[in-house]
Amino acid sequence: MANRNGWGRGRSVPTGSPQVPPDSFVEQANVADEDVYATFDEEWPACWERAADLLSWDRPYDAVLEDDDPPFYRWFTGGRLNAAYNCVDRHLEAGRKTHAAIRWEGKHGERETYTYRDLYVAVNEFAAALRDLGVEEDDVVTIYLPMIPELPIAMLACARIGAPHSVVFAGLSSDALATRMDAADSEYLVTCDGYYRRGDAFNQKGKVDNARLALEHEVETVVVDRLGDELPHVLGEREWDYHDLREEFAGATVDPVSRDAEDMLFLMYTSGTTGEPKGVVHTTGGYLAHVAWTSHAVLDVEPEDTYWCSADIGWITGHSYIVYGPLALGTTTVMYEGTPDYPDRDRLWEIVDRNAVDVFYTAPTAVRAFMKWGEEYPERHDLSSLRLLGTVGEPISPRPWNWYREHVGDGECPVVDTWWQTETGAILISTLPGVDEMKPGAAGPGLPGIDVQVIDERGEAVDPGQIGYLTVGRPWPGMARTLYGGDDQYREEYWKRFSDPDAGEWRYFSGDAAAIDEDGYVTVLGRVDDVINVSGRRLSTMEIESAITDVEGVAEAAVVGRSSGTTATEIYAYVSTEGGFGPGDDAVRETIVDNVETAIGPIATPDTVVFTPELPKTRSGKIMRRLLEDIANGDDLGDTSALRNPEIVGEIQAAIGED
């Protein structure tokens, strides 16, 4: 049944044929009980006690959920705990002092291992130093560090003294840093002199100096000396050397501050629709319980594992699944400073091999790059330690999904395609690898206890296979509590559109478009804006992209609409090819058009196919469709410095010019 507005019209979204996890995986899985979905539903919200039980509480909570003031839900109220105690101290107490907590792999092949005891010492000393600088409970400390061990150490030191951290991705500009520090009134900053990007030493301190000039308030700044003589720097007023502080407080211990479950653990800025960054607020109890539970149930992390999430800690994925989730479970978490292709394209597989990584979690954009580079790179290494693979951050279509399972997972490892957001704090949609079959191209059902619904404009469930809005009908522990300083904006952005407060009905809107099948498996199609209107029919750009990336030789594709005249939209497809297939290859171009026509219909075939060596990506690795749309329309592109690969823009414009 099609609805009036065009959502949901048309055909079902294709997924690959179902695949089952191997028995060997299921037998050892943390969660293998098929009744888990039913149990969570029956016991909701008490079911979430299982997540809370993974933590150590200073004081037990009185209620699992308090929902008298929606959409401001409160979880595990009355409970008290400390996140750093949960991620560090309790593992020492359990006799796991010498167990590796962090294995760090540096850009130039440097390696460091922090045992739980080492991490305890570092976190305590730095917590003592922060206190001495004046940091009090509830003061926001900004952290602007690349992927070096001092980053999680600083986060945990803040958590220990009850000071919320606000990590700003190290690659962001001085303006971005200043805006975020200003918005959070943050008077403390932990940063470094510089770091390596590709082969080069890069000056971070210069950006910090500029940001500080732009701020009206003073900032106490701690500087980690990462580059030594390579980038000499002089410390000025209110600047402190990290290593000197550690020495000054050598051997110091600080009692973990007992925090209310609902006290803020951290702030994470994410881009808003209006352009102003939104400070998403996460709390101590619900967030930590949810990331620990999903690390256990979805990523199947066990204490004896070596687990690796290749994201940057500067984004939510790194917060939840490099730092808090894995460390709460007492496992070994790998941290890598470099890029996947330096010094060569087998770098990640070398790290998996050497560390005998059990579980590997990465982004679809990385998987598509691996596929583009070819299977020879994973083949160079012994990857047999791997038990489970995961992806997060963007949709992954069946071909790269299958490639990943086949060439990295030896055809055996289950692959979990996990959907979530900065605002959701932790995974909400995925298969449970010990319970469910997998359908490449679909993330999976809502996790146990998560009420995912794909609805139309009127709030009614769409039929299987049709496109609608991805919403969540019940609260969950890891959810954002509000936007920093913006309760009204929080309600407006996420709750207003599909809630009916008069009827007492509240529904979270993710901003994503999705389809759901008969089994409740959700295929996320991207942001709702990534739907284009061609002759009155709404087409999902992701669906077209999926048909394009199905073509052999195609590595990545991004589809946008070009408005021509008043109504009609032309379809532009930007395509990068795999090694061995020449860009602009006419055979590839023809197959692309044929494939889209067969998969969706002539209405969706691209009018223009632009070959490019790479697609423009944000620093967190997401394809910048907005920019590609501006290029197609010949619009002003504005500032492109936030891109990871700004140089590609000129090449694409030149390619279009030649067409």
Window 277 to 316, contacts with ligand 6R9 (CB under 6 A): 315-316
User: At its nearest, how many Å lie between ligand 6R9 and the CB of residue 584?
Assistant: 29
Q: H or E stretch including 625? A: helix 625-633
User: At its nearest, how many Å lie between ligand 6R9 and the CB of residue 150?
Assistant: 23
Measure CA 67 to chain center.
27
Binder among 89, 118, 225, 394 for ligand 6R9 (CB under 6 A): 394
- Beta-carbon count within 10 A of 279 CB: 22
Assign 219 to helix, strand or coil: coil
User: At its nearest, how many Å lie between ligand 6R9 and the CB of residue 180?
Assistant: 15
Assign 211 to helix, strand or coil: helix
Q: H or E stretch including 559? A: strand 554-563
Taking residues 440 to 479 in sequence order and writing x for each that binds ligand 6R9 by CB under 6 A, - otherwise, the string is ---x------------------------------------
Any contact of residue 420 with ligand 6R9 (CB under 6 A)?
yes
Any contact of residue 397 with ligand 6R9 (CB under 6 A)?
no
Window 155 to 184, contacts with ligand 6R9 (CB under 6 A): none
The CB-based long-range contact list for 346-351 (8 Å cut-off, 24+ gap) reads 346/377, 346/378, 346/380, 346/381, 348/310, 349/377, 349/378, 349/380, 349/381, 349/383, 349/408, 350/380, 350/381, 351/105, 351/308
Any contact of residue 362 with ligand 6R9 (CB under 6 A)?
no
* DSSP code at position 607: S
Q: Residue 71: is the preceding peptide bond cis (ω within 30°)?
A: yes
Q: Which two tokens stand for residue 535?
A: 């002759």
Sequence-distant (≥ 6) Cβ neighbours of residue 6 within 8 angstroms:
533, 536, 537, 538
Binder among 310, 317, 540, 612 for ligand 6R9 (CB under 6 A): 317
Contact stretch for ligand 6R9 (CB under 6 A) within 158-166, 246-254, 413-421, 557-565: 413-421
Rounded Cα distance, 50 and 575, in Å: 45
Sequence-distant (≥ 6) Cβ neighbours of residue 362 within 8 angstroms:
309, 310, 311, 348, 390, 391, 392
By beta-carbon proximity to ligand 6R9, the closer residue of 540 and 569 is 540
Contact stretch for ligand 6R9 (CB under 6 A) within 84-92, 387-395, 433-441, 646-654: 387-395
Q: Angle CA(629)–CA(601)–CA(535) in degrees, nearest 5?
A: 55
Binder among 397, 421, 471, 595 for ligand 6R9 (CB under 6 A): 421
- Say if residues 433 and 512 touch (Cβ distance below 8 Å): no
Assign 89 to helix, strand or coil: helix
By beta-carbon proximity to ligand 6R9, the closer residue of 363 and 648 is 363
Rounded Cα distance, 118 and 99, in Å: 10
User: At its nearest, how many Å lie between ligand 6R9 and the CB of residue 6?
Assistant: 21
Any contact of residue 480 with ligand 6R9 (CB under 6 A)?
no
Pairing of strands 264-270, 278-283: antiparallel
By beta-carbon proximity to ligand 6R9, the closer residue of 120 and 315 is 315
By beta-carbon proximity to ligand 6R9, the closer residue of 35 and 492 is 492
By beta-carbon proximity to ligand 6R9, the closer residue of 394 and 545 is 394
By beta-carbon proximity to ligand 6R9, the closer residue of 395 and 434 is 395
User: At its nearest, how many Å lie between ligand 6R9 and the CB of residue 526?
Assistant: 6
Binder among 3, 39, 210, 270 for ligand 6R9 (CB under 6 A): 270
Contact stretch for ligand 6R9 (CB under 6 A) within 73-81, 282-290, 380-388, 411-419: 411-419
Rounded Cα distance, 116 and 41, in Å: 37
By beta-carbon proximity to ligand 6R9, the closer residue of 194 and 526 is 526
- Beta-carbon count within 10 A of 250 CB: 10
By beta-carbon proximity to ligand 6R9, the closer residue of 274 and 566 is 274
Taking residues 613 to 652 in sequence order and writing x for each that binds ligand 6R9 by CB under 6 A, - otherwise, the string is -------x--------------------------------
Residue 21: CA count within 13 A, CB half-sphere: 26
User: At its nearest, how many Å lie between ligand 6R9 and the CB of residue 433?
Assistant: 14
By beta-carbon proximity to ligand 6R9, the closer residue of 271 and 598 is 271
Amino acid 310 reads: S
Closest alpha carbon to 614 in 385, 383, 417, 368: 368
Q: How many residues bind ligand 6R9 (CB under 6 A)?
A: 22
Window 481 to 540, contacts with ligand 6R9 (CB under 6 A): 510-512, 524, 526-527
Binding positions for ligand 6R9, rule: CB under 6 A:
270, 315-317, 392-395, 417-422, 443, 510-512, 524, 526-527, 620
